[in-house]
A and B are shown apart, each in its own frame.
Chain A
């Protein structure tokens, strides 16, 4: 790839940060509905956020 572009990297990061909570939060929400609990959504969102942060750091953290 050519030169790194700040804007598009930023949007890439944004997309990753959205994907984690959306995916694992969604799974947690479905499990909540299935098991009649209410805390799995929160756990899912936090796990997703953690994974997203991990991915962003592992991809962009070192090159800076």
Chain B
């Protein structure tokens, strides 16, 4: 069974239990994504309190703190703090919620704002010192958020239409002749209820996982080329190694800039798609 579990929760156990205590940080690979227990002294039953969980919780605290900070004692004429908060809030409200959801967007703005800011903060953890690790490059966290989206859009859909009408809306596309329906209904069901949430999680996870891996290759690889003289690099011309390492390190800045863009982009996409799923669950017909 460990193979099968690894399929659904990749990178959680298989690799990590094997490389525990190995040369961490020097070998770039899936092992670089292993969690470090914060209190290894307390024994294995407390290993779940690891740096990634800490990051996610800290992200939530930062987000809550930020919105509390920008929203207390509002004035009619906003100051800088309030203006900044309203700018960020309006970006999600007008740019995502109202665009996607139409007239009854108001109910969903709080969740979408929270989702976007939580994703943004956690993705940016991948580019900032102290952390240097995007939380959602662990797939479990991505499954969690996609699961929330799944519950949300199915919940509001069933609440608005009732279970049967909701299922009918989502499995019987309009304008398809009746004899096609038996072929098309399972396909629509699979697409709407299984593939969409799965791709939602995988898109977020894979973008951040890949991005973090590329950053590691350039930064760690460049450092290795500059500093290693033993092992596989032994006897190679030094000027060549140092040039390659220096170029890799300089180029890693470009990769960081790209990752900064990807982090913001993925937070945005995830929020837009959540809004879109809710919109299509609320829509009367497709």
Contacts and interface: CB of A to CB of B under 8 A. Distances in A.
Interface residues of B, number: 29
A51 B182 CA distance: 11
A57 B191 CA distance: 15
A44 to B, nearest CB: 12
A28 interface: no
Contact of A58 (B175, B194, B195): B175
Given A23-B190, A51-B187, A5 B195 contact: no
Contacts of B192: 15
Interface of B: 98-102, 173, 175-176, 180, 183-184, 186-188, 190-192, 194-196, 199, 269, 272-273, 276, 279-280, 283, 286
B184 A18 contact: no
Nearest to A9: B276
A64 to B, nearest CB: 15
B187 A55 contact: yes
Contacts of A23: 186-187, 190
B99 A1 contact: no
Contacts of B191: 15-16, 18-19
26 contacts: A1-B100, A1-B102, A1-B279, A2-B99, A2-B102, A2-B279, A3-B99, A5-B276, A7-B269, A8-B272, A8-B273, A11-B273, A11-B276, A12-B280, A15-B191, A15-B192, A18-B195, A19-B194, A22-B195, A23-B187, A24-B187, A51-B187, A54-B180, A54-B184, A55-B188, A58-B176
